[in-house]
Copies of this chain bind each other. A is one copy, B any other.
Amino acid sequence: MDQNSLPPIQTTARDDAVLKALVGFVRAEALQPGERLPTERILAERLKVSRNTVREALTRWEGLGLVERRQGSGTYLKAAVSPDMLHLPLTLAGGNDFTSLMHTLEIRRALEAEAAALCAERASPGDIAEIERKLDIMEQAFRTRDGMSSEEDWEFHQAIYRVSGNPLFEQIIAAMHELFHRFWEHPLGVRDFGHASFPYHRTIYERIAARDPQGARDEALKLIATVEDDLKRGAAKLKLPSRT
């Protein structure tokens, strides 16, 4: 390892400085996700900083999911780091109340509509073919199992996010996906949960294939509207509290 890739730090604001130094180190050594980074003791020595300070910095990274610590083994990089990253530590109130779920659904509506519109603008013929393939798979699964198929449905939407050309859509919605799945798995007692949204998948695809951004946006809005509707019906049926 290059000794010079870990120069001592200087000013106050230690732990932030440690993080910056670590970013520099990861770049200098071209560390890939999965690789191990130096031990806390070595980092402390190299950076001329107490081990506790190193630990505070690593705790921050661990909280952001950038790094994983394994006692007795070491600290491992979990994701790529770049000098200027944007961290959004979103904290959503518990997923078991109706209001929170509606909130995340509103975010999804916003992003879904925009992604569909961008997708309609930018999709290449190959992209359109790919989306159609996912759509066919989804429709097939829907018919055989006679109900919404979380997995295939999700893949269809992911394809749209990907083709939108903006990785942020996929990242944000993927993060929220977990929250939705708490309910997707248990359809709230609504027998045909998700049935209403089914036809809109194809209409969205058609608007994308026709390169009609506004049309794609409108269809996406309709799709989410049906999901909101199902959600409201389920909430009413279960007498879900509107607040925790």
Binding site for B on A (CB under 8 A): 52, 55-56, 59-60, 62-66, 79-80, 82-96, 103-104, 106-107, 109-111, 113-115, 118, 164, 166-169, 171-172, 175-176, 178-179, 244
Check A86–B55 contact: CB distance below 8 A. no
Which residues from chain B contact A87 at a C-beta distance below 8 Å? Answer: 89-92, 175
Chain copies in complex: 2
Q: A140 to nearest B CB, angstroms? A: 28
Check A89–B106 contact: CB distance below 8 A. no
Partner of A179, one of B63, B86, B92, B115: B86
Check B92–A88 contact: CB distance below 8 A. yes
Give the nearest-CB partner of A115 in chain B.
Answer: B110
Check A89–B65 contact: CB distance below 8 A. yes
Check B168–A107 contact: CB distance below 8 A. yes
| CB within 8 Å for A82 and B93 given contacts A59-B59, A63-B64 | yes
| Complex CA–CA separation, A178 to B118 (angstroms) | 24
Which residues from chain B contact A118 at a C-beta distance below 8 Å? Answer: 106
Which residues from chain B contact A244 at a C-beta distance below 8 Å? Answer: 82
Which residues from chain B contact A62 at a C-beta distance below 8 Å? Answer: 60
Q: A176 to nearest B CB, angstroms? A: 7
| Complex CA–CA separation, A167 to B106 (angstroms) | 11
